[in-house]
Structure 1
Amino acid sequence: MTEPAGERGPRKRVKNYGAGREALLEAAVRVVARGGLRRLTYRAVAEEAGVTHGLVVHHFGSRDALIEEALAHAVRSSLSSSTLEPGTGKVADFSAGLADMVESGPELQAFQYELLLEARRRAELLPHLRGLYEEYFDATRRELSQMLARPVGRGLSRLVFAALEGLVLHQLVFGEREVTEEALAELRALLEGLAEGTDGV
């Protein structure tokens, strides 16, 4: 009688593996966003996700693996929801979803800032952060190069990304979505000017 029940458990776990892993990553993001990295434990994630401690261990194996995967999840979720790289080459489309991204997923943004600050104290986090932030930098550079119809260097792409990241941080802390939208309109106007200057060359 207990044997069939034991067989049903593993089948259910395998069937829900992907969804379960995603839910655990989102729970880890929320834990860190609320209490900082020091609060990130298997038990805290399990409690947040409503699962057993053992399930978190099963999915990730180590706290470092959990941190790394949660960071990758946060960066990729932000990239997909911010319209940082719409691929249209139109300035008007650049970062069109930025303010919405902050409103709909503040935990994702807070999580990334928590890890950036923690990396100043824990050097082992820096390679993971640098590698994943390169995705942001590369996406910004690709989109700017398409908008301006010329290769864009590291300086300009990092300047534009820094402006976007600052807007995200300010909206996260102060709210004021309308200020974010106004600043984005100004940034797009500057980029339009650069694009027109390129056309005239």
Structure 2
Amino acid sequence: MTDPVEPAGDRRSRKRVTNYGTGRVALLDAAVRVVARGGLRSLTYRAVAQEAGVTHGLVVHHFGSRDALIEEAVSHAIHSSLNSSALEIGTGKPADFAAGLGDMVDSGPELQAFQYELLLEARRRPELLPQLRSLYEEYFGATARELARILDRPVSRGMSRLVFAALEGLVLHQLAFGERDVTEEALTELRGLLERLSEDSDTD
């Protein structure tokens, strides 16, 4: 559950008693939105404070340094992404594969954009790679497990990466162009391919 952060405008008529134990998640959510709009270089104390509607000093108090803010925002985004992932449904039915992918993009575009910004920034800042690698290994593993359920056999790394790349491309294109209907059409085609692969496995 997200702790509330009091908007700056609500503090004009009374003295605010700051509780530094609340609002951290809201500040991290604000950081994700700032990066999604302007890239990692736009992530400053003041930008996060303005986005969250709090004082600059509150952000400084919570994180201490810009590097700490970046590190915690990355960790927060990773946990949020894994919780909202549409990859591992668990039914083993091709028709259910990646169900909710389009909804995931529509409901959390900032979170998805944040990840792509980090991927690009990691080319310039290698220290971001370990956490991103950890996130993507979770994605790769979830894809491989779901494909193994559908096909009733282990799948190769190349196969799981191919399917994941298709899904990630659909997410990126929906972010950039909208076109949720195209995402759903492509998923229907992908599920049809998986259905045929599953049937071939049954006849072997």
TM-score tier, shorter chain, comes to 0.7 to 0.9
Deviation of 1:195 (Å): 1.2
Matched, 1:68 2:56: no
Which amino acid in 1 is paired with 2:114?
Answer: F
Of 119, 134, 141, the match for 2:137: 134
Q: 1:46-195 counterparts in 2 under 5 A?
A: 46-195=49-198
Which range moved further: 123-132 or 163-172?
A: 123-132
- Once the two structures are aligned, what percentage of the paired residues are identical? 78
TM-score normalised over the length of structure 2: 0.84
In structure 1, the residue matched to 2:35 is 32
- CA distances 1:42-64 after superposition (whole Å, capped 9, x unpaired): 22112211123333234334333
Counterpart-to-counterpart distance in 1, 2:65 and 2:97: 38
Cα 1:192–1:69 change in 2 (3 A) is: farther
Deviation of 1:91 (Å): 1.5
Deviation of 1:148 (Å): 1.2
Cα 1:114–1:198 change in 2 (3 A) is: same
Which range moved further: 133-142 or 180-189?
A: 133-142
In structure 2, the residue matched to 1:200 is 203
TM-score normalised over the length of structure 1: 0.86
Counterpart-to-counterpart distance in 2, 1:66 and 1:146: 39
CA contact (8 A) 2:20 2:62 kept: no
Cα 1:151–1:62 change in 2 (3 A) is: farther
Which amino acid in 1 is paired with 2:164?
Answer: F
Unaligned 5+ segments in structure 1 are 1-7
Which amino acid in 2 is paired with 1:67?
Answer: I
